[in-house]
Amino acid sequence: MTTLHDPGLRGFASDNYAGVHPEVLQAVAAANGGHQVSYGADAYTARLQEVLVDHFGPRVQGFGVFNGTGANVVGLQAMLPHWGAVICAESAHINTDENGAPERVAGIKLLTVPTPDGKLRPADLDRFPRVPADVHHPLPEVVSITESTELGTAYTAEEIEAVASRAHRLGLAVHMDGSRLANAAAGLGVPLRALTTDVGVDVVSLGGTKNGLMFGELVLAINPDAVTGLAYLQKLNMQLASKMRFLSAQFIALLDGDLWRRSAGRANAMAKRLRTSLEGKINSGVIDGIGFTQPTDANSIFATLPEGVADRLRQKFAFYDWNPAVREVRWVCSFDTTQDDVDDFAMAIEAELAGPA
């Protein structure tokens, strides 16, 4: 087939823009050929379950789904009765970027908390008292945290444990939207279980696409007692792949070794390189007019730019506005972002924001 795009085109819009990691493509090719039982009863999905145990402990159960929204909807549905509600940050992906799918598809009431950095604190859970006898108000049953957050910040293991402990004392289960869990773990230098199993998280929506997979995410029931009917909901929500072996083979490539850490670490390192470069130019007076609105704990940078600068930069580098009201933008690095990509972008920003000679 003829290539229809420019393979040299680079940008900082999203880690979803990146292609597929070569090792993942090799894994898909290796899983091809011959016949395997469909709908997850194949050798690759069985092997993936063993790999998941190595990362998340002996009780974990993994369910492959097509995308992150599907993972969140299926995972949360399995954790909730029909009348249950979910406490989450106002900026959480389930509240802002899933077109209301948790509420419209799953019928889940979201109880949102405004936070300056995308992180919930233990005290935030007290905003919504759990009163089972009060049928006039939604009953909180789950708290959902995002790691790393939509604002590019990362919870430490201690912060997650504090939220989870408070949640469990209140009778709430804990869900993690881990679409960028690998980035958080790589940035903190800890294993995946240190931010999940070891600190009280019950269910994880584990991302793969943002970390070099072609498609696919996982719903991980780390605590199977916290879910009901997960396998039925996987099918009911149209998230059960018939050729599951190809989804599972990708996750084996990602997790059965250190590819997850190498890919996420590369993305994080490039984000750090970009921010460090720009901060150096600011401190030396080379550029002016740029500000940073959040810490860069993973692979995303949030910055403010003078009027018109973002549009001019986008003529060469793709990226998105985040909050147009304050001219805030988001830059995201991927597993395949190179030092040259970062340096070229930093030079383009410098050309726009160069101070007086």
Q: How confident is residue 354, by pLDDT bands cut at 50, 70 and 90?
A: confident
Give residue-wise pLDDT tens across range 146-157.
999 999 999 999
181-188 and 259-283 helices cross at what angle (nearest 10)? 70
Average pLDDT rounded to a whole number, residues 108-120: 97
CA 258 vs. chain centroid, Å, equals 18
- In degrees, rounded to 5, the angle at the alpha carbon of residue 82 between the alpha carbons of residues 78 and 86 is 70
Considering only CA atoms, which of 247, 250, 249 is closest in space to residue 239? Answer: 247
pTM above 0.85, yes or no: yes
Can you tell me the distance from the alpha carbon of 171 to that of 12, in angstroms, rounded to the nearest whole number?
41
φ, ψ dihedrals at 64, nearest 5°: -75, 140
Q: Which regions of the chain carry the CATH code 3.90.1150.10?
A: 260-353
Can you tell me the distance from the alpha carbon of 230 to that of 65, in angstroms, rounded to the nearest whole number?
11
Q: How confident is residue 223, by pLDDT bands cut at 50, 70 and 90?
A: very high
Using alpha carbons, list the distances in angstroms from residue 235 to 18, 66, 204, 232. Answer: 29, 11, 18, 5
The DSSP letter of residue 287 is: B
Mean pLDDT of the chain: 97
Does 357 score more than 80 pLDDT? no
Can you tell me the distance from the alpha carbon of 245 to that of 248, in angstroms, rounded to the nearest whole number?
5
Give residue-wise pLDDT tens across range 12-61.
999 999 999 999 999 999 999 999 999 999 999 999 999 999 999 999 99
Does 308 score more than 70 pLDDT? yes
pLDDT at residue 332, rounded to an integer = 98
pLDDT at residue 355, rounded to an integer = 62
What superfamily would CATH give domain 260-353? Aspartate Aminotransferase, domain 1 (3.90.1150.10)
Give residue-wise pLDDT tens across range 247-257.
999 999 999 99
Give residue-wise pLDDT tens across range 184-202.
999 999 999 999 999 999 9
On whether the CB atoms of residues 148 and 178 are closer than 8 A, the answer is no
**Was domain 22-257 assigned CATH 3.30.413.10?**
no
pLDDT at residue 205, rounded to an integer = 98
pLDDT at residue 326, rounded to an integer = 96
Does 273 score more than 80 pLDDT? yes
Least confident of 62-66, 133-137, 217-221: 133-137
Contacts 24+ apart (CB under 8 A), 33-37: 36/245
Does 144 score more than 70 pLDDT? yes
Q: Which regions of the chain carry the CATH code 3.40.640.10?
A: 22-257
pLDDT at residue 356, rounded to an integer = 56
Four-point Cα dihedral 122, 128, 132, 137, nearest 10: -160
Q: How confident is residue 133, by pLDDT bands cut at 50, 70 and 90?
A: confident
